[in-house]
Amino acid sequence: MPDSPELVVRALGKRLAQPRLGKDALIKLLKQAESALSEFSQSSSLQDPLHALSKSLVQTTLLNHKDKDVKLLVSVCLIEVMRVLAPDPPFSDEILKEIFKLFISIFADLAETSSPFLTRRMKILENVAALRCSMIMLNIGCEDLILDMVKIFFSTVKHGLQKSVHQAMLSMMTQILNEKVTQSLVDVILRNLVKDDKGASHKLAFNIIENCADKLEPIIHSFLSSCIFNKDMPVTELRRLYHKIILEIFQCAPQILFAVIPSLTHELLSDQVDIRLEAVHLIGRLLALSNLQFGQENKMVFIEFLRRFSDKSAEVRIAAIDAAKACYMDVSRDEAQHILSSLEGRLLDFDEKVRIRAVHTVCDLAKSNLSSSAKLILHAAERLR
In contact, 279 and 317? CB cutoff 8 Å: no
Instruction: Classify residue 121 by burial, with Cβ atoms within 10 Å: 0-12, 13-18, 19+.
Output: buried
Three-state SS sequence of 22-67: CHHHHHHHHHHHHHHHCCCCCCHHHCCCCHHHHHHHCCHHHHCCCC
pLDDT at 76: 97
Residue 380 pLDDT class (50, 70, 90 cuts): low
- Nearest-Å Rg of the Cα atoms of the chain is 29
Residue 311 has pLDDT above 60, yes or no: yes
pLDDT at 326: 74
Mean pLDDT, the chain, rounded, equals 91
Residue 385 has pLDDT above 60, yes or no: no
User: Hey, what amino acid is at 130?
Assistant: A
pLDDT at 364: 83
pLDDT at 372: 56
pLDDT at 196: 85
pLDDT in tens, 102-160: 999 999 999 888 889 999 999 999 999 999 999 999 999 999 999 999 999 999 997 77
pLDDT at 298: 96
Specify the range with the lowest mean pLDDT, choosing from 74-83, 153-162, 305-314: 153-162
| CA-based end-to-end distance of the chain | 101
CA-based nearest residue to 128, from 95, 154, 157, 99 = 99
pLDDT at 170: 97
pLDDT in tens, 357-374: 998 888 888 776 655 555
Name the residue with higher pLDDT: 163 or 78: 78
pLDDT at 1: 46
pLDDT in tens, 178-200: 999 999 999 999 999 999 888 89
Residue 243 pLDDT class (50, 70, 90 cuts): very high
pLDDT at 375: 59
pLDDT at 155: 92
Which of helix, strand or coil describes residue 104? helix
Cis link prior to 87 (omega < 30° from 0)? yes
| Residue 197 CB contacts under 8 Å (≥ 6 apart), including other chains | 158
Residue 245 has pLDDT above 90, yes or no: yes
Cα–chain center distance at 286: 20
**Domains within the chain, CATH numbers bracketed:** 260-385 (1.25.10.10)
pLDDT in tens, 58-76: 998 999 999 999 999 999 9
| Residue 112 CB contacts under 8 Å (≥ 6 apart), including other chains | 118
Return the percentage of the chain with pLDDT > 70, whole number.
Answer: 93
Inter-CA distances, 343 with 50, 303, 309, Å: 76, 14, 7
pLDDT at 198: 85
| Residue 372 CB contacts under 8 Å (≥ 6 apart), including other chains | 327, 331, 340, 365, 366
Cα four-point dihedral sign 232, 238, 241, 242: negative
pLDDT at 55: 95
Residue-wise DSSP of 280-305: HHHHHHHHHHTTTHHHHH-HHHHHHH
Name the residue with higher pLDDT: 353 or 111: 353
pLDDT in tens, 82-113: 999 999 999 999 999 999 999 999 999 998 88
| Residue 377 CB contacts under 8 Å (≥ 6 apart), including other chains | 362, 365, 366
CA-based nearest residue to 148, from 111, 113, 105 = 105
